[in-house]
Structures are given as C-alpha cells and as structure tokens.
Structure 1
C-alpha cells in the first residue's frame, strides 16, 4: 500500500490563524510524521487571508485538498489527552497513539491535530525543523540581510515585539492577567528602553517589530531611536527570526513572540501583569490542566521558590515600571563579548596570549 495514503497534517478551520498559532499544530504534525515514517502536509495556508502560502510555496488552493483528504480517508485526531498518555514526551505519545489505534495494521488514514495546547516544551523535538523551515521560506533571507544591514554588530540588539493593530488594549492592569492577544502598554516598552540605556549606556540598539505605524510608535522612537521593519514587505517570517536572533527579546503577549523566544538562545522579558502567581511561582500557563499535570510548580529541578535578586531565568518577568533584573545588563555584555568576531579564530579573529 502506498505511503501516500498515510498522512499527518494540521487541521485548519475557519480562515486560518496568525503565524504563531499555525506553527503549533504544524510542529506537532512534523514530529508525528517523522515518528511514524509518513508524509506530513503543511497547514492549508491557501485558506489564510495573510497569504502565508507565498512564504512557504504551498498551493493556493491546498485547502480543497485538505478537505478532500479528511473526507475520504479515516481521520484520527491527536489531542491533548493523547499527548498525556506518556510522560510528556511527544514522540513517545505518538508511539502509544499509534499502538492504540493499530495504525501499522491499517491501510490508510490521516492523523490530524489542532489547537494550541501543550505549551512550547512539548514541541522541543520539532524546534530545529521549524527553525530551518522558517529560514528557507521565500522572503526570509533577503529580508534578514536588509535588517542586519541596519544594525551595528558591535552593539547589543534588543528586539521588541509590539502588537498594536489587531490586539485590544486596556487601561486596567488587572485585565492582562492570564490573557493573550492584548496590546501591551507602550509605556512598558518605553520604561524598559530607559532601564536598558541606563545599564548599557551607548552599547545598546533597539529593533522594533510591529504591526503598528510610526505615528503610534513615536513616543518610544523619541526615547530609543530604534530600527524598524515597517517598510519591509513580506516580513512575517523574517520579523520572527530577527526577534529570535536578538540578544534580548521584549515579548508581546502572543504566540508570535512566544515562538521567537522558543527558537532563540537569548533571554527574553515578559509583561509581569500578564503572569499568574501560583504556589509561589510566576507562570503563563499555570491555569492549564497540562502544566498542573506536569507538576511544574514542585518540579525537582527547582531548588527554591525564591530566586536571588541577582538571578533571572531565560524568561524574566518585568513590571510596568520597567525595572529589570539587577544583573541583566552585565550578563548581556558578557554574552555579547563571547560572540565578538574579533576574538573568534575561525572568523579571522585573534585571541590574547595569556
């Protein structure tokens, strides 16, 4: 029986979602396809009004094929409950799922998956594949060359993601707790910029990725004279990668920012009023059944519920006043020195003889 009759793919409903949302079930499908040795279809981008099909070279009317496949082949949906059949490992969950449904014994099927459940940790096995897919998208390389030409490689780059166009804002700080898809106060970004300038003096530059316009950003631009990508067309993918490549990411409360942080090795800042306090810890996902099931708040890797004032994790909560972890600037400078090409032998650099 031809393997083309056994498929994995994200289920897309409605008119599709933003890039961050689309990537989650796609990444899940990639792991499922690799585990089971079958073909993986990307999301039905042709149905998405944001025209992501242009970035990834998918057919304009792929949604028709998706609908036909789901109608003609036996469809089995891989859900959050299926994932937690294992100890939180996606590959093992897929194997258990396969055995449960006797997929090896069946001649034809399509596994679909949908939704944003599970957090990003459950996608760790797909991380490098998704990153390479983004880099190989149509406009990414050209756009990144343009962005990099605007930045000074000797400065610490702070990437800021600011959602203004399609998110609602609130004057009540409590409205942000546990909520996604809300436009964060521009003053938060301004306060962070001022704090970083105070810690780093003239060694910092800002890169703003936004769906807003220059007039909306003017109060922030007056403070930090940032580089923007507003004038660069087809920048959905390259903006995410530019954020991921920054030395520090200032996130919006969105799956787009979360992907940038997930794909990056750099630290990132999160809006503290959005986080929930649960059992002495901050959490984005603490209200969800999945994180409670994994017992994240009493994890054996956590030694203390109270971190030192000089300690911060990769993701650091920052309040509206923009007060940063006390040694963040120092750590950024040290990290930047390690990346300095003048001290990298294979980059025509030199190393001091001690």
Structure 2
C-alpha cells in the first residue's frame, strides 16, 4: 500500500482508507494476506482514533524503571531518545525534509544543560537508544542513571510517561510524542519555515495543500499567539521558553506527597476566593440563549 493509494481514497483516517481500498481490491476475501505499508501515509492523523487504545496497551506493559527505588524528593522525569545505530552521522544534523540522520551530540548536551540550569538535581534523566553503549559514551554524564538496556516497548513506555521528551528526528520519537501528553523538544534546524511558522512536514506538497495550511490559519489568530505549544523548537545554546520552565516547575511542585491530600498530605489554609481566576487562553463565550 503506497502513499498514492492512501491519498486516492480522499480519507484522512488510515482504517477508513484501507476499507475503501478493500472494496476495490477485495483483500478481506483472501484466505491470507500480508499488507506491506510504504511510508507514513496520513502521518499520525491517520491513526488518531487508535491513540487511546495504543496508549493503554503501552502503559500497562511492564517496565524496568518500575523496580527503581523511589526518590525521597520529587523529581522531574526527562526522557531522551538518541537514535544512533542505523542512522548516518551528520555533524550539522538533519535539515528540513531530511530524515534518518543522527542529531549532533552537542545539541543533546545543550538542551539537557538548559533543563538542568532551572531544575538542578530535581530532575531524573533516562536516555533511550537503539545503541545504549554508544549513547553512554557520547552522553556519559546523563547515561549513568538510565535504566539497563531494555526492549523497544519498554523504552517507548518510559518516554510516553515522562514529564518532558527530548526527541531525535525519528519515527520512534514521533510515536512517543504521539502517545504522550507531555511537551517535547525538537531539533530546530530540522523544521521547515512556511509563512512564519515551523513544521516537520510542511514542505511536502500534500501537507501544504491541507493540514499545514489549515493549521497556519488557526495559529495566525491573535488570541493564539501567546499560547504554549507541545512541540518546542530548540537550537544549540538556547534556553527554555519561560512558559515551559513555569509549566515544568508546576509539574514538579504537584509531585510533592507532603501536599497531596490522599497521601496524608496537607494544604495550607487560605481565605476563600469567590472569583474564579481567568483562563489565560482564548476567550470563551457562552452560547446565545434561545
């Protein structure tokens, strides 16, 4: 099944596209079938309906880090993915539209240092890689506390459950980000520019014709300009955005068992506030009464 076949159906959901093609080719009528899929037709939009199912299946998978002793103090969990073994080395890193290339080691060090500048020892770093020995050599200061080499499913599970992801330019990192709800850092030089916005696939003709252009129109609205984004472009020697630092600081604060009521924690008594705080995002208008 090729990308052209997928797009010929006019469907954005991969399952719906396969059903439409099955009506034409009669795949389901065969006694046995191997369906070879070429590329990532539809991207993750094509399997959006399956996300909750996949996330549930993944996070119930046993993990090596579940046996790690709990830290006495709350820690921010940072998961790093370094794709190494089957990617070609590139000192400058992948440029827009280029895949299957390693990221510069200096970039990993730069973004990890940026996180440590704000959180110091209150962060736990797990380095995931298809070549753990090489990852340990290039990131020795960060690999010492990482779990022992484990399966791909375990690596993916750890990443999907982390507070912050530092991604490689790979489908593995993309899948982890897809299954996670956390913010993730992306190699800035890999992103293509279009009308003042950055994207992973915006350079592709069919992306410009539909999802990328539509999303640019949404994000161009004035009330969207100051909102956070899950994907955070980062370059060498760049600091974390202020909003991300504040968000991660809040995540870290919420991990305190001492202030968690159902864990025998306590909450400081304060005067009751009758006015609800304003939501910092777009204004929400009530529907007109009939």
Aligned residue for 1:160? 80
Candidates 105, 110, 135, aligned match of 1:186? 105
2:230 to 314, 319, 329: 314
Task: Check whether the contact 1:159–1:208 (CA below 8 A) recurs between aligned residues.
Answer: yes
1:86–1:92 CA contact under 8 A, matched in 2: no
Which residue, 46, 51, 54 being the options, matches 1:130? 54
Distance 2:30 2:130 in 1: 46
Is 1:293 aligned to residue 216 of structure 2?
Answer: no
The answer as to whether partners of 2:135 and 2:143 remain within 8 angstroms in 1 is: no
The answer to whether the Cα contact below 8 Å between 2:59 and 2:161 also exists between their aligned partners in 1 is no
Correspondence 1:255-270 to 2 at 5 A: 255-270=171-186
List gaps (5 residues or longer) in structure 1: 1-76
Q: Which residue of 1 aligns with 2:35?
A: 112
Pairing 1:143–2:64 present: yes
TM-score (norm 1): 0.64
Is 1:228 the equivalent of 2:121?
Answer: no
Shift in alpha-carbon separation, 1:322–1:167, aligned structure 2, 3 A:
farther
Cα–Cα, structure 1 residues 89 and 153, in superposed 2: closer, same or farther, change >3 Å? farther
Match of 1:277 in 2: 193
SS in 2 for 1:206: strand
Residues paired across the two proteins, number? 268
**C-alpha separation between the residues in 1 aligned to 2:144 and 2:221?**
38
For residue 258 of structure 1, report the CA deviation from its aligned partner. Answer: 0.8
Q: Secondary structure at the match of 2:48?
A: helix
**Secondary structure, aligned partner of 1:193:** helix
Partner-residue secondary structure (3-state), 1:112: coil
Q: Compute the displacement of 1:109 (Å).
A: 7.3
1:204 match: 123
Q: Return the TM-score normalized by structure 2.
A: 0.76
Q: 1:142 offset after TM fit, Å? A: 4.5
Q: How large is the Cα RMSD of the aligned pairs?
A: 3.3
Check the 8 A contact 1:280/1:305 in 2, yes or no.
Answer: no
Taking the aligned partners of 2:115 and 2:63, their CA distance within structure 1 comes to: 30
Distance change >3 Å, CA 280–CA 298, structure 1 → 2: farther
Residue 88 of structure 2 contacts residue 100 of structure 2 at CA under 8 Å; is this kept in 1? yes
CA drift of 1:304 comes to 4.4
1:295 Cα offset (Å) = 3.8
Is the 2:75–2:122 contact (alpha carbons within 8 Å) kept by the matching residues of 1?
Answer: yes
Distance 2:143 2:72 in 1: 13
